[in-house]
Every structure is written in C-alpha cells, then in structure tokens.
C-alpha cells in the first residue's frame, strides 16, 4: 500500500471518515484540514485535490483486497473454504475499515462518472475473483453448473444486503455482525455445491 508519512496517513484517514459521514461532495479540503489538525498547505503538499485523496483511499482498499486474494490463492484451500474466507473478508472490512466500507456503499452510485467508475472497479475485481473460484469449483465437480460471473455478483448482493443493515449499529446489526459470516458462508455453499439433491416438484 506504499509508505505514507504520519501526516499523510492522518489526512487520508480523516478524509475517509468525513467522506463516509458527510458524503464526498459535501466535504471540502478545509474541513479535512481542520479535522486532521493540519494546515491546508500540508494537504496540498501531499494531494492535488480531494479527488486525489479519494483515489488513494480506493487504491489502498484495492491493494488490501488484492493481498487477501493473493493469500487465498497461495493457500490452496478447498473451494468451500475459499468461499468462507471471501465472506469473512467482507465482514472484516465492516469491522476493521468501517469508514471505508461506509464510503464505498455511500458513493457507489455517485453522479460523478470518474468516482462511480473507480468504486465499481473495486467491486469488479472482487467479483472476478469470486467468479474464478466458482469456475474452478465447477471444473472440479464441486459446484453445480452456473454462469460464474452472474453468480459472483449475486453473492456480492447477498453480502451487501446484510452489510447495509449492519450500519444501523443496533442489536440486530450486532447479531448480523456476529453470526453473518458463518451463516452466509454455509448458505452460499448449500446453494452452490454440486452434490445436493434438487427437487423441483
């Protein structure tokens, strides 16, 4: 993710929090400087614009997810375990990187084409990896025949539905955070596995 100076890291994390709370369009550079307790000049020393800061936030998260994906691939886990780990990755984001998670959900359909496109790229990378795992599972006879990319986006949609409810921060959200990863992974595996009996009657 690159080496950032302490000031640069503080600017990025502060901007991430403000973008998540107020929205990207409603957050100015002066507000970031004030909340980060740095001068406006210090921000412009590191970043050309708030779009540049957002680009760094997205790039950091892409790098983080790529690292998780690389570790999963290197581990050579069974398909079922890979699905479990992918679900856990999303819940880990909600727990450890709550501001960035809220930011991506909030700004995903932003009217700014460049912003919307960059965030969509992040989702596409994850979906493509899930589709790759599904494709490998189909080839190995572990996963039922299906269209891998369509199925990958369906999986992401299920995870996002639960994730959005978690942002409420109430008792239901706490339950979903605690039980969600295991329950979702098990439900997904029951849906995907090739050896289940299907009764259409």
Domain of 151, CATH number, reads: 1.10.357.10
Three state DSSP letters for the chain = CCCCCHHHHHHHHHHHHHHHHHCCCCCCHHHHHHHHCCCHHHHHHHCCCHHHHHHHHHHHHHHHHHHHHHHHHHHCCCHHHHHHHHHHHHHHHHHHCHHHHHHHHHHCCCCCHHHHHHHHHHHHHHHHHHHHHHHHHHHCCCECCCCHHHHHHHHHHHHHHHHHHHCCCCHHHHHHHHHHHHHHHHHHHHHHECCCCCCCC
Kindly report the pTM of this predicted structure.
0.75
pLDDT at 35: 95
The parent domain of residue 137 ranges over: 50-192
Contact between 4 and 13 under an 8 Å Cβ cutoff? The reply is no
Do the domain assignments include residue 94? yes
- Measured CA to CA, the distance from residue 18 to residue 36 in angstroms comes to 10
Do the domain assignments include residue 178? yes
Do the domain assignments include residue 87? yes
Of the candidates 13, 17, 11, the one whose C-alpha atom is nearest the C-alpha of residue 29 is 11
Do the domain assignments include residue 151? yes
Do the domain assignments include residue 93? yes
Count of domains for the chain: 1
* Exposure class string for 12-48: b at 16+ Cβ within 10 A, else e: bebbbbbbbeeebeebebeebbeebebeeebbeebbe
Question: Which residues in the chain show pLDDT less than 50?
Answer: 198-201
Do the domain assignments include residue 34? no
Do the domain assignments include residue 33? no
Do the domain assignments include residue 198? no
- The set of residues, in sequence order, having a beta carbon less than 8 Å from that of 92 and lying 6+ positions away, is none
């Amino acid at each position: 993710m690159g080496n950032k100076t302490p000031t640069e890291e503080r600017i990025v994390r502060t901007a991430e929090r403000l973008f998540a709370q107020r929205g990207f369009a409603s957050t100015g550079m002066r507000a970031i400087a004030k909340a980060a307790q740095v001068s406006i000049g210090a921000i412009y020393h590191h970043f050309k614009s708030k779009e540049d800061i957002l680009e760094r936030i997205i790039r950091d998260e892409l790098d983080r997810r790529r690292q998780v994906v690389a570790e999963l691939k290197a581990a050579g886990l069974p398909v079922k375990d890979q699905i479990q780990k992918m679900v856990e990755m999303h819940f880990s984001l909600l727990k450890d990187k709550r501001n960035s998670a809220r930011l991506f959900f909030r700004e995903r359909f932003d009217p700014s084409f460049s912003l919307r496109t960059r965030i969509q790229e992040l989702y596409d990378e994850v979906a493509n990896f899930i589709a790759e795992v599904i494709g490998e599972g189909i080839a190995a006879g572990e996963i039922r025949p299906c269209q891998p990319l369509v199925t990958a986006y369906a999986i992401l949609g299920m995870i996002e539905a639960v994730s959005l409810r978690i942002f409420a921060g109430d008792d239901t959200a706490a339950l979903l955070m605690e039980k969600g990863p295991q329950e979702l992974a098990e439900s997904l595996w029951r849906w995907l596995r090739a050896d289940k009996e299907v009764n259409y009657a």
